[in-house]
Amino acid sequence: MERIWQINGFDWGESDDLIKWPANSFFAWENIDVRTNLSATKLSPKLEDSWWVFDDNISFMTNLETLWVSWWGIVVCLENGKIYLDGTLKTTLATWTAAHDKVKWIGVNIDTGWTQYVYYISKTSSWSWEIHRSTTDLATFNVWYKSYTVTSWAVSFVWTINDSWLLYIAVKNKILLMDDTEVVQDFLILPAQEEVKWFTQFQGNFKVYTNAQQTGVQYVWDWSTEAPSYRQEWINQPILWVVNDWAFDYAVLWFNENYSDLYLISGTQRQELRVNLETAAYSRILNWFLSIREGIVYISWGKTWQSTNEGIYTYGNYYPWAKKSLVQSYSWTSPFLYHAHSTSFSYYAAANDIVYKIQNDIPPDTYADSWYVTTNLYQGFIWEEKAFNYKKVWFKLNGWEIKIYARTNMNLSSETTWILIKTIDDATYWNVKSLRLDKNELMEAWASLWTFNELQLKFELFSSVSWSATPELYPSATWLTTTNDK
């Protein structure tokens, strides 16, 4: 009896289960694009060095374009107090303490003279923190502009929101307000044991997210009252990070690396988008920085069971009729910290003091130089023993090569179980769009294809000519013969 395992694509994105997950999902991957061409899987844009040179750790990065100021550019702040605009040093902040000011967030506002300024909220080594001010082109700085007091110098992060010429600053357990007269005052004070992890604003209402030890808390606040109108707790799910997309918030709730889950929050209601299987060997690790661009969520991630790299997950879609998917879009050897998006590029600050960039143009000028995708596990009817008959795969090499691997005994703790069954190189197959792999050819490489209960495939792509093009992997099908159904 013949069985056909057909793979129409991978547009469902990353699966949460080895087998029981929608068709066209995949199990493991790196540097792939499944959104811009729904009929093919291809390489993601290449992660490139910005060639900006820094001499200390990056404490914050943002794009002035997204702050709606009159001057555009990528601002990078270092832990030694240096502030750069598009890689050019603009000033160096220093306090009377041994430690330099470390800028933790940047906001904008307009003063009573109708002039727009950029404000830098910095962390010092005492409880007295600084706000610095510059013109929008970062040409002129007022280094000793404002001071304010926090309840603990050990605060990790600060967040700002600009709304109607008012700059709201969230730090530790309170929200400060700086109005157009530039007076800084406490505006909302929350319980002392809580720390604000993020706050968002939509149509005059704020959502304030705090952590109280291992509990995440959400407040609803309309800014005109002294206290929030609503409070709810998420027990054992503290908040790692939140990002806003108009009426919706996306949040990663985190207990440990086995519980880093992505949620969609609408008002006070939350919906699980992607959750980890608790303590599973193949759990993904979502890290502490999220950003949003054109409706797509960008998430820093850590090392997972399938890769020694780190990188960027993306969640979303390009076309309204397409399914939203979670995809590991870019990978690198260092963790990514801050994100900054412009029209043409997305920038990622890495832990190795380098800012990398990804081209947002479609198609980009350059693509990643390696790529792989692993299919979900095929079992069909588990009681049937099967043998390999033949396989057909459709592709466009575009100067690259594709390697196809298979295994019939899945071992999550090892990649050595993979057997290379075919290399499709450009020198041999440059004018070929499809290929049939027959049983006799594959049996020479892999005798275990005679009888098995489960099958998994892996496709790898490598550069052989140029990074200016991408190979494209189209649907494939595998024909199997049932050898024993008892």
Same domain, 344 and 436: no
pTM (two decimals): 0.93
Q: Of 54-68, 186-200, 458-472, which gets the smallest average pLDDT?
A: 458-472
Same domain, 310 and 455: no
Q: Which residue has the higher pLDDT, 94 or 428?
A: 428
Same domain, 202 and 320: yes
The owner of tokens 């939203």 is 324
CATH value at residue 24? 2.60.120
The predicted pLDDT at position 249 comes to 98
Same domain, 26 and 115: no
The predicted pLDDT at position 449 comes to 67
- Average pLDDT of 23-29? 88
Same domain, 84 and 40: no
Same domain, 287 and 415: no
* Residue 146 clears pLDDT 60, i.e. is over it: yes
Beta bridge partners of 116: 110
HEC letters along the chain: CEEEEEECCCCCEECCCCCCCCCCEEEEEECEECCCCCCCEEECECCEECCCCCCCCEEEEEEHHHHCCCCCCEEEEECCCEEEECCEEEEECCCCCCCCCEEEEEEEEECCCCCEEEEEEEECCCCEEEEEEEECCCCCEEEEEEEEECCCCCCCCEEEEEECCEEEEEECCEEEEECCCCCEEEEEECCCCCEEEEEEEECCEEEEEEEECCEEEEEEECCCCCCCCEEEEECCCCEEEEEEECCEEEEEECCCCCCCEEEEEECCEEEEEECCCCCCCCCCCEEEEEEEECCEEEEEECCECCECCEEEEEEECCCCCCCCEEEEEEEECCCEEEEEECCCEEEEEECCCCEEEEECCCCCCCECCEEEEEECCECCCCCCEEEEEEEEEEEECCCEEEEEEEECCCCCCCCCCCEEEEEECHHHHCCCCEEEEEHHHHHCCCHHHHCECCEEEEEEEEECCCCCCCCEEEEEEEEEEEEECC
Q: Which residue has the higher pLDDT, 375 or 451?
A: 375
Last residue of a domain, one of 367, 398, 428: 367
Rounded CA gap, 468 and 37, in Å? Answer: 17
Domain count across the chain: 2
Q: What angle do CA 116, 117, 121 make, to 5 degrees?
A: 145
Same domain, 52 and 8: no
Could you tell me which residues come within 8 angstroms of residue 181 by beta carbon, excluding any fewer than 6 positions away?
111, 112
Q: What is the pLDDT of residues 333-385, one digit of tens each?
A: 888 989 999 989 999 999 889 999 999 978 888 898 888 999 998 988 888 88
Rounded CA gap, 115 and 300, in Å? Answer: 35
Q: Range of 74's domain?
A: 48-367
* Residue 308 clears pLDDT 80, i.e. is over it: no
Rounded CA gap, 52 and 317, in Å? Answer: 31
Could you tell me which residues come within 8 angstroms of residue 83 by beta carbon, excluding any fewer than 6 positions away?
75, 76, 77, 89, 90, 91, 92, 93, 103, 120, 134, 138, 141
Q: What is the pLDDT of residues 407-423, one digit of tens each?
A: 887 766 666 688 888 99
Q: What is the pLDDT of residues 462-479, one digit of tens each?
A: 765 557 888 999 999 999
* Residue 72 clears pLDDT 60, i.e. is over it: yes
Same domain, 383 and 328: no
CATH value at residue 128? 2.130.10.10
Last residue of a domain, one of 316, 343, 367: 367
Report the mean per-residue pLDDT for the chain.
88
Rounded CA gap, 413 and 33, in Å? Answer: 26
**Residue 107 — pLDDT band, cuts 50, 70, 90?**
very high
Same domain, 279 and 397: no
Last residue of a domain, one of 310, 343, 367: 367
Q: Which of 158-162, 365-369, 387-391, 407-411 has the highest mean pLDDT?
A: 158-162
Q: What angle do CA 127, 131, 135 make, to 5 degrees?
A: 170
**Residue 16 — pLDDT band, cuts 50, 70, 90?**
confident
Decide if 466 contacts 368 (C-beta within 8 A). Answer: no
* Residue 255 clears pLDDT 90, i.e. is over it: no
Nearest to 380 by CA among 314, 452, 461, 311: 452
Instruction: Please give the share of the chain, as a percent, with pLDDT higher than 90.
Output: 50
The predicted pLDDT at position 163 comes to 85
Same domain, 174 and 292: yes
**Residue 121 — pLDDT band, cuts 50, 70, 90?**
very high
Same domain, 62 and 10: no
Q: What is the pLDDT of residues 217-240, one digit of tens each?
A: 999 999 888 899 999 999 999 999
Q: What angle do CA 235, 274, 43 make, to 5 degrees?
A: 145
The predicted pLDDT at position 276 comes to 79
Same domain, 349 and 387: no
The predicted pLDDT at position 128 comes to 77
- Average pLDDT of 34-62? 93
87's tokens: 């890689």
